[in-house]
């Protein structure tokens, strides 16, 4: 069997999460996530110049399609799960399981998603509703749901 060598250099606050993803990949339990800083790949969105007043506007079909192409692994798991069950609440635990991550590993990705939608789409909120339980009849924990319209947009959009 031919062997390959992969050298990875990473600096930043999420080093543990990256190391965990690489460890799982090398053990055959996941797939690598490769990204480049925005602007280096011609497919990357460019930062928006949205003002604070613009950030509460509704998401558009075009923005959802673009987000599908650029979203991180945990955000993708959240969007895939909620879009498969529009109008239903999906738990944070379900998102972690679908992403193949622990809660500790998933949190930085969701924080990154918040920064991503603000910087590149000019939105202050994700395209899903968020609710911390216990409330609305939900158990304790964080839950997400998406509208039928946004789920349809997500499901129609291409990831490439």
Q: What is the pLDDT along the chain (160 residues), one digit of tens a residue?
A: 455 555 555 555 556 666 666 666 666 554 444 444 444 444 455 655 555 556 678 999 999 999 999 999 999 999 999 999 999 999 999 999 999 999 999 999 999 999 999 998 999 899 999 888 777 777 788 999 999 999 999 999 976 5
| Euclidean distance between CA atoms 16 and 105, whole angstroms | 8
Domain of 144 in residue numbering reads as 58-160
What CATH number is given to the structural domain containing 95?
1.10.10
When divided into structural domains, the chain yields a total of 1
Give the side-chain half-sphere CA count within 13 A for 104: 8
The answer to whether position 26 is within a domain reads: no
The answer to whether position 30 is within a domain reads: no
The helix (H) or strand (E) run that includes residue 143 is strand 141-145
The answer to whether position 84 is within a domain reads: yes
pTM: 0.67
| Euclidean distance between CA atoms 24 and 10, whole angstroms | 17
The answer to whether position 114 is within a domain reads: yes
């Amino acid at each position: 069997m031919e062997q390959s060598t992969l050298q990875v250099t990473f600096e930043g606050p999420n080093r543990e999460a990256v190391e965990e993803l690489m460890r799982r990949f090398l053990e055959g339990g996941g797939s690598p996530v490769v990204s480049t800083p925005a602007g280096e790949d011609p497919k990357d969105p460019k930062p928006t110049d949205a003002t604070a007043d613009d950030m509460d506007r509704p998401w558009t079909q075009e923005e959802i399609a673009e987000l599908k192409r650029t979203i991180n692994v945990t955000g993708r798991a959240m969007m895939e799960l909620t879009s498969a069950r529009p109008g239903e609440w999906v738990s944070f635990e379900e998102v972690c399981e679908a992403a193949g991550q622990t809660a500790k590993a998933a949190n930085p990705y969701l924080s990154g998603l918040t920064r991503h939608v603000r910087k590149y789409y000019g939105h202050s909120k994700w395209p899903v509703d968020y609710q911390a339980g216990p409330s609305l009849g939900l158990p304790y924990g964080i839950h997400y749901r998406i509208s039928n319209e946004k789920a349809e947009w997500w499901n129609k959009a291409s990831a490439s």
